[in-house]
Amino acid sequence: MLFRLSFLFFLSLLSLQAFAQQQYKVGLIGFYNFENLFDTLDAPDVRDEEFTPTGSNLWNTEKYLEKLHNLSRVVSELGTSITPDGVSILGVSEVENRKVLEDFVKQPLIRDRNYQVVHHDSPDERGIDVALLYNPKYFEVLGTKAMPLIIYRDSGERDYTRDVFLVSGLYDGEPLHIMVNHWPSRSGGEAASQPFRNAAAMICKAAADSLMREDPYAKVIIMGDLNDDPISPSVKKILNAQREKESVRRGGLYNPMYNLFKKGIGTLAYRDAWSLFDQILLSYGFVSKRAEGYKYYKVFVHNEPYLLQSSGQYAGYPFRTFGGGAYLGGYSDHFAVYVALVKEVSPKPPSVPPGGGG
């Protein structure tokens, strides 16, 4: 996060000669599905009854505070081996409202970062939204836009779900556009629900295309719980997100998660198989040799051992808050993901001693 990196960190990235001639800044940007971060109140017009003290989950203040603490522990750790400031921007999903995010950013483990909240109240029937948290030392919000996903069930009724949330601003003075997503689930089957996620992908594609028509090197990030893998039609075909940086052309997108998926690395597990639904896609401007400013360096899945269920039927799965109808007191059913971006900074010219010349 705009932190001058040690020589050892960049040894694998740059030759000794190049590193000696240049300095670098690093920025960390991530995404985390908070898995049902609800308050304890029964809100009107949304299906949140189970997350109340008298609901099926017996959701009370003690559990809510433990959930906040657990999530803040994870966020406090993201990328701190690279920079002590951790992630400067974090997209989140499955949050009930702005208030739960305001409670979250006040948690002792992260409150010194002064995360600010950008939230949009989606029309989702369960009342869960997407949002963006950011450290104002590094990011300035200039505008937001909610892009509705309008889809219909077989009955002809609209299926109210999360909007695509676009946040634009300046990252270390550099224009940056981030789309935070939580695409429709696979309820009813992967194939039957695929058109819904394809529709969400088309919204993101249209927005990214528009931004990159204005500026071919525009820095655009599409992030979120896509409920699809890197090889799914929504990501591979509609977004046309490329597996290799070298394959990305003007107007295109790069998917740094693709190779992780092919290695069997995932962010959630179901029926003894890993999926990589939590993805961060980057525009051409992050990988082009001609582009200036921040460039893509590496992607990470935060899958520390303590985030895994240690015993029982779901041993080895992400350690979640509820499982099999029982309160487990875990973190989330998803792992957090983040990318490291690097920016070359021209070295200062050598100082000339007083009286020197020539």
49-100, pLDDT tens digit by residue? 999 999 999 999 999 999 999 999 999 999 999 999 999 999 999 999 999 9
What φ, ψ does residue 298 adopt, rounded to 5°? -160, 155
- Mean pLDDT within 14-36: 74
CATH class of 7-345: alpha beta
Statement: residue 164 has pLDDT above 50: yes
**pLDDT on residue 82:** 92
Q: What are the distances in angstroms from CA 3 to CA 6, 84, 89, 328?
A: 9, 8, 15, 37
- Mean pLDDT within 111-133: 96
**Window from 17-21, 26-30, 157-161, 341-345 with minimum mean pLDDT:** 17-21
**pLDDT on residue 231:** 98
24: β partners: 344
Statement: residue 236 has pLDDT above 60: yes
CA distance 336 to 302: 5
Confidence label for 24 from pLDDT (cuts 50, 70 and 90): confident
**Window from 30-34, 168-172, 311-315 with minimum mean pLDDT:** 311-315
Q: What is the pLDDT of residues 309-357, one digit of tens each?
A: 998 888 999 999 999 889 999 999 999 999 999 998 865 544 444 433 3
Q: What is the pLDDT of residues 188-233, one digit of tens each?
A: 999 999 999 999 999 999 999 999 999 999 999 999 999 999 999 9
- Higher-scoring residue by pLDDT: 161, 6: 161
Confidence label for 22 from pLDDT (cuts 50, 70 and 90): low
The separation between the first and the last C-alpha atoms of the chain, rounded to the nearest angstrom, is 39
Nearest to 278 by CA among 332, 322, 237: 332
Statement: residue 47 has pLDDT above 60: yes
CA distance 341 to 4: 12
CA distance 116 to 192: 38
Confidence label for 44 from pLDDT (cuts 50, 70 and 90): confident
Q: What is the pLDDT of residues 240-249, one digit of tens each?
A: 999 999 999 9
